[in-house]
Structure 1
């Protein structure tokens, strides 16, 4: 899954802070209470006993009787969200792991959606073949938001060949435990270890627009609404579509039958086997209806099951098909052109054939994430799959290439071999993120995707991992919200960065052979990170890359089982050529907050660091193999014959996951070299970017004097390459955002402007050059227009007004696709409500997803508070803004210095509306991500106090909320500590 907007649960509604007064009790009352208490203890003990892993003792008791009469009707409902009152307080999840007494072997599922009524529903029939490993008298299976018909539940004994017998197990009782999302079926007879059984269930579900489970989506053609239904099951939402063992460990085969109106089509993981008029198990909801029966799947986890019912059109190339709504199918050409190349490349890279007979890619109008790697049927947000040459910006083409590569890589890493539990999610997402850069570099070599890794992945995650409230990359998770919360840049970008580090110290050839062996050994199974470490170690030792007394596990456990990243401090002795290397965890801001510190008490951890470096004399930035290993020691001393006038730079190509600080003299030598316009580019682009990012962040953390970091930025007057500029602008924008409300902001504005003046004049406003020049132009123009460059603003306003003058602006847009966002945002920022309304009308009228995305971003650029407030209001009220795009609206408004407090206050004042908007069953981690958007640049202590009070009252703080608070605290601390330092430096160094 890529490009998530992942967004904890409040205190249990039964908990109270009010102390009850002590009451005197009579002896009789006391005895009665004592009896009740003892009975309650017995009942609880029986319940705990039964829901532990079922023992082999055939006399095992059934579940606690307090649940037995919970439902009186023939249909058992699972509530969307258990409530106590009208405020709909969310449940408090407990450990939701299923017992290990049995496992599924095969599913046979029939789903019949009904689009004919006002409220869409579906009927389902599932038959699950299970194998019992421990004798017991109950079955626990996941089910959520489904109504199960208790009269049609049956359990039959299967023979050794998996065929049905006449022997039937009778059902004693069945009920739901909402807190665990369990359907429990109690049996009168014992389910015996070693035997197989067939469970059959009938149920009904709703198809709603919550972007989870089996949900509905829509689009408009000629003012007519067209409906479709699609699935999104990762991580724990297959249980919303059919009762199942909804954990990745429980792999099984799936036989899927989908009903549909004859005017629509269906898609699923496997190829279509046949279409029939009716199915005995589920009646057709209308006369004009058929059922598509799909081939049985390979073994896979429930979260990878997928199906779509729609009226889409497709393009195909052999066994690869791309699908979209009819008026967008022409935008699938690029995805179709690269998908077969990616499949072929990965078969060679992994040495394992693609395991399915076909691959479909489909663009869904409403989709919560960027894409989802369902086995054989990959679902995408439209903007992640559709690209129109000459209409969409080149950055959109890069996005499509990256996301398609990411999801196809998952077909091996994640689907063929699946992490045993979500604690190792990073094995999925880290590998797919790493591979997307390898793949794109292969299919589009001129884009230099591997060079972009540093700015797109490494720098992105360094900022999060520098917080005390970061988390381990391999972390225990127990409930759906905890699982959803780790779909973040730690799992994706840090995971990819660690894998990239492994590839560098193992060498690519050894790395590839180790991966191939791992995939072959665990095909159609689940695995843990230790299984991967073992496979890589065997190959590394046999190839001589690692000595026999070293292992990948020994090296990598410190990186995956500890929070944060190390700072390597290099102190040179310029007289005897000794260098002392010291490591400690890099923390952006130290905190004494108990709430923060209790999230992570491992402040003294050490890492197994690969040490590589180059010097001014060597200038070898290609050799990334370690010269030394810093084996989890606080410090080591090494000797190197280096002239005391030469600089030394550690971590060439930023191949490994750590920051570096140097002594003052080495920083001076590096800065002097960079300020030489004839020789600065002898240092690689990646390392120029990393020197900038390290220096700026070390200064933010009060480890390096800000004058050293700012001195480094002087060289930007002659920098022309994208990667260093991307990093520099990101870091300078942080200082800009901190000072923009200050009376001396003009000094920062003036300095920043002088740094970009030369490259602005080189690039100009005309859209030309190769892809990296176009990307550089976007970054430079964005900065220039923000800083008030008159030429940039005038060009943007002129281009926008020429568009407004077009007779048919929805068809004719004279603005170059790569300049659209700059032009739209700048013109709206400096325009009036008519300019805003013009963009809003274009948003309403366009059917192109990429254009809608640009306009949603630009509409948040206005400086008019009432327009920003109206925009936020429309994100909840206007159906034109899809739920998936609400986050983009809030992100756009809160990125605006005038909009950030407006967005924060809006969320505070409309929290219940937001919860209602996304659906009461939506994960709180999803909603909490909105808070991260609107507090990223918070610098007002009063707002921080509001955030903490709001946190206590409404949010009941998850990890993402702690990160938001810590980031705001860091911003405020930065201003208090560094405002005067920066201003003093600027006064001296303006030129």
Structure 2
């Protein structure tokens, strides 16, 4: 009686109204009668202070719980999709690498070795456990033949094969040869030497076993007798690998030109992807010169670090015709600098201080002049940098291919 009405209820909150008896109400100072409103006790008279914290009403708490449930569901869905994509990628890679190696000209005269051990095979500790190559053998020169087996309109899966002959100098006696190799099938391992100073191939050294040290990405050749320090030898291997669309190593990418779907084969070998294309000493300090040959479909053009010096034709085991493009010998360089392109691009060209500059691109883009600016600016840029650093560009040509990333 005479008390103030309780406050209006707010959504999501609970209020308790307490009836105050008249005799408990404080009297006014003027006449001692109860005042018209209840006077609450001072905070000190209300007991101990409540613990501090964060309080939510019913609706915000329900909304937060709903958001957490949605986030958990999204994480479960993403994990399931990621696992499915991994299984699909593994299936595609398995399909792209059938076990039987192809027959072809690069296999002629190549010997055979025992098959590589299964991934579960164990080996005693050895030089193959070191992440750095031993310095027993130093590469001098590579003879590399690369064959991307791709034709226009081919549905896939895509593979490439090849052969590499590596001339090495033996720095210390060894009966174990280590090369980098990753995701490649290897066969036909052979070693010849010591090489005479003049022409001649040297005698054959039997390879007792070829196996893979997968953890450090090595191909290990164990020989029947040791290589002698100070002598030169030739290591020969045939190989085969999948041509994926991962944008590293040797890969295939697709584009549209004049409304038609086309394919481009290119390489990106830095920092350590050369070993996924051909067996090699894949460390930057182990530089060598390269003679590169690319076998490709006649409707495509092949590009590499150096100018092409010869083109010929050959037939495969099925009678299909292929073009063989041979390139000039490179300067001494690291393996990751080797570059390969197979495409049906066109180009525009000019010469700057004796250096031939070619800008490659889709035929439609070249026809419409989209490469003209790059052509006109590249020459002056080279000249400016030559003058700035007082260093001449060491090669006779420069080729620029559009970014495929």
Structure-1 separation of matches of 2:380 and 2:200 = 45
Deviations along 1:118-162, one digit per CA (max 9) or x if unpaired, are: 21111111000000101110100001111001xx21110143426
The CA deviation at 1:94 is 7.6
Instruction: Please name the residue that 1:289 is paired with.
Output: 322
The CA deviation at 1:227 is 1.1
Instruction: Please name the residue that 2:376 is paired with.
Output: 337
Question: Which 5+ residue runs of structure 2 have no aligned equivalent?
Answer: 1-111, 121-127
Instruction: Please name the residue that 1:325 is paired with.
Output: 362
Q: Map residues 433-582 of structure 1 onto 2, 5 A cutoff.
A: none
Q: 2:392 aligns with which of 330, 335, 353?
A: 353
**Secondary structure, aligned partner of 2:386:** helix
Q: Map residues 811-822 of structure 1 onto 2, 5 A cutoff.
A: none
Instruction: Please name the residue that 2:304 is paired with.
Output: 268
The CA deviation at 1:224 is 3.5
Residues 324, 363 of structure 1: 8 Å contact kept: yes
Q: 1:132 aligns with which of 170, 188, 192?
A: 170
Deviations along 1:409-432, one digit per CA (max 9) or x if unpaired, are: xxxxxxxxxxxxxxxxxxxxxxxx
The 3 A distance-change label for structure 1 pair 144 and 286 is: farther
Residues 78, 147 of structure 1: 8 Å contact kept: no
Structure-1 separation of matches of 2:317 and 2:364 = 30
Structure-1 separation of matches of 2:286 and 2:163 = 20
2:221 paired with 1:188: no
Q: How many correspondences in the alignment?
A: 278
**Secondary structure, aligned partner of 1:249:** coil
The 3 A distance-change label for structure 1 pair 301 and 285 is: farther
Instruction: Please name the residue that 1:104 is paired with.
Output: 139
Q: Map residues 332-731 of structure 1 onto 2, 5 A cutoff.
A: 332-364=371-403, 366-367=404-405
Instruction: Please name the residue that 2:338 is paired with.
Output: 305
Q: Map residues 172-187 of structure 1 onto 2, 5 A cutoff.
A: 172-187=208-223
Residues 157, 164 of structure 1: 8 Å contact kept: no
The CA deviation at 1:343 is 1.4
Instruction: Please name the residue that 2:82 is paired with.
Output: none
More helix by share: 1
After TM superposition, the score normalised by the length of structure 1 is 0.27
The CA deviation at 1:236 is 0.1
Structure-1 separation of matches of 2:222 and 2:278 = 19
Q: 2:253 aligns with which of 217, 224, 235?
A: 217
More strand by share: 2
Deviations along 1:407-454, one digit per CA (max 9) or x if unpaired, are: xxxxxxxxxxxxxxxxxxxxxxxxxxxxxxxxxxxxxxxxxxxxxxxx
The 3 A distance-change label for structure 1 pair 353 and 286 is: farther
Instruction: Please name the residue that 1:122 is paired with.
Output: 160
Considering Cα pairs closer than 8 Å and 6+ residues apart, tell me whether 1 or 2 has the greater RCO: 2
Q: 1:255 aligns with which of 291, 296, 319?
A: 291
Structure-2 separation of matches of 1:198 and 1:326 = 42
Q: 1:155 aligns with which of 175, 183, 191?
A: 191
The CA deviation at 1:246 is 0.4
Instruction: Please name the residue that 1:772 is paired with.
Output: none
Which one has the largest radius of gyration?
A: 2
**Secondary structure, aligned partner of 2:287:** coil
Structure-2 separation of matches of 1:113 and 1:201 = 17
Structure-1 separation of matches of 2:357 and 2:317 = 31
2:278 paired with 1:242: yes
After TM superposition, the score normalised by the length of structure 2 is 0.65
Residues 78, 143 of structure 1: 8 Å contact kept: no
The 3 A distance-change label for structure 1 pair 278 and 224 is: same
Structure-2 separation of matches of 1:129 and 1:78 = 29
The CA deviation at 1:261 is 0.8
Residues 189, 237 of structure 2: 8 Å contact kept: yes
The CA deviation at 1:287 is 1.7
**Secondary structure, aligned partner of 1:180:** coil
The CA deviation at 1:215 is 0.5
2:148 paired with 1:113: yes
Residues 128, 199 of structure 1: 8 Å contact kept: yes
Deviations along 1:614-647, one digit per CA (max 9) or x if unpaired, are: xxxxxxxxxxxxxxxxxxxxxxxxxxxxxxxxxx
Q: 1:228 aligns with which of 264, 270, 278?
A: 264
Residues 313, 324 of structure 1: 8 Å contact kept: yes
Residues 75, 147 of structure 1: 8 Å contact kept: no
Q: Map residues 674-823 of structure 1 onto 2, 5 A cutoff.
A: none
Structure-1 separation of matches of 2:338 and 2:194 = 25
**Secondary structure, aligned partner of 1:258:** strand
The 3 A distance-change label for structure 1 pair 225 and 348 is: same
**Secondary structure, aligned partner of 1:179:** coil
Deviations along 1:902-942, one digit per CA (max 9) or x if unpaired, are: xxxxxxxxxxxxxxxxxxxxxxxxxxxxxxxxxxxxxxxxx
Residues 259, 284 of structure 1: 8 Å contact kept: no
Instruction: Please name the residue that 1:708 is paired with.
Output: none
The CA deviation at 1:288 is 2.8
Instruction: Please name the residue that 1:165 is paired with.
Output: 201
Structure-1 separation of matches of 2:223 and 2:269 = 29
Question: Which 5+ residue runs of structure 1 have no aligned equivalent?
Answer: 1-71, 83-92, 368-991
The 3 A distance-change label for structure 1 pair 305 and 333 is: same
The 3 A distance-change label for structure 1 pair 122 and 94 is: same
